[in-house]
Structure 1
């Protein structure tokens, strides 16, 4: 499972706004700020050219890989949903308020099990931990 660093400044970001990064040795790194970027690691561990993998996903608070290639699950706090981001950049909502989300702030995958922490920052009602089962890109 990749290591996740939260709240660190985005590289080359004038506003120095927090972003999320996941990385592992000699593998691509990923960053987000509404846009999910893949930064390949090249020869001598030098960063390659960043590639936009998904855009327009405002409110990404956390993300993790599903274990199925470059598929990503992202917790979108403001929009109050968890989305699946496919390798081609398209996305689909998998969980939302109807499923019990209250401002999701973290998402984790272990095998086919998904855990989503909702902090309920906006509603101040019912912070919770939602558990779901991932099957072929569906919860």
Structure 2
């Protein structure tokens, strides 16, 4: 992986990660965030609203997806903008949990401004769970 500000090129992969999530992690996140919506911990409630089961919090998924970019940058203040579209719920199995994979790739370089746009591919298995996940960063 290349360091921020080094000779980056469009298409360079700057970070990859696979993050396991368990139902315990959802409970801890609920406590930290204050989001106690039962779709994040009760299968029966999730199913009554048309979900296949308990799902991860959207903001948790969004946060874990950007973390490899934060680690690469070394400073979260260098993130200028971050946007995603939630395309599929992240269903967390009660026994085995789920693994969310993240691939971060340079999509646009603006050397004059010292910025780049990093596109994230965020998947569970073969299914994309965040679409148009884009992070604009300051490189210097």
TM-score normalised per structure 1: 0.30
Of structures 1 and 2, the one with the larger relative CO (CA 8 A, separation 6+) is 2
Counting strand residues as a fraction of each chain, which structure ranks higher?
1
